[in-house]
Structure 1
């Protein structure tokens, strides 16, 4: 049952009085000075509310948010525009409805939405300058995957006016996955994109750490409960 409001204050004060001697003996946490905070304050009265909405509902196929220079920094669309990388627009692998984020040069740096594949797929990504950095996928079969990719080298192509080359091969160094059957796993991969260590829970229900060789074969397993 919720405690009456008037009873909360004495209770809180009593708790503070009880813990104060312990806290007083601990070193104060390192924090910025008031002067440092004053230097970075933009305003003490930020705009956090709109008195009256301009419209109760907006219907549009695409909405662009631009910065002071007119650069598109965010797009909300029923079909997101194809990705722009270093001033060149490339074909998207599949149509996506959702939101795309851009940096101050107009290059795509992430987004989220639903992909138009059979069964539908939810996706989210944050990008390196010319390649996905992290990505989520919720697939039609029920599997869920999260990947962290190593940054690829930034290569420029003279035939493309010395622009960045997209899709340069790189390794997925960490991959977390829940398979369609519910089996969880966390894979750690080497620079050649080969899984070398896997954490999982087996069908029998016990935890296991698997070590894999360069051919993908499990060479050693640590599973304390397996013997039982």
Structure 2
């Protein structure tokens, strides 16, 4: 692994650890208030990470198209998916649909009895993502580090969706705060890992196709004319 890749992995891991820790410390004793609810500083960080992942996906697709690689369609579609998730995070779209329409009408999925009314929306998004996963996996499989980051991101996302799907009314108030905070931390980790997968793939492509400019050769010494 190159030093640049190592530094990127360390940086993303540090962000995952330090951001929730700093937000919790800043709001003590109500440590959860900047983490668990929607439209908080934690949401802002998650949105930025997803936007970076979207931009990185478009850059990877651009580099691959310029090099004549096949199957470049995966990357703009992936970028659009990240962008959609970022918009949803920023404006709490699925929460607004859930709380404003689905939950008041008690709309549920019969074969998911543990899911609160309306909370199945994000599970549908997860199913769509898993359906698209094989195409993304094929797009990154040539890069072992990108592939590993993708696997970590998917596992964290599945854990976050699973935790988010549990009806919060089955928890105590303290338990709900802890559950929602932990779910947001998992979501941040998933976004960082997925961004890492994109960034590592981009770094690998640039290392192959972009060569550093050769240093200019020294000019030959100019001979002074002989003195008479």
Task: Provide TM-score, normalisation by structure 1.
Answer: 0.17
Select the structure that is richer in strand. Answer: 1
Select the structure that is richer in helix. Answer: 2
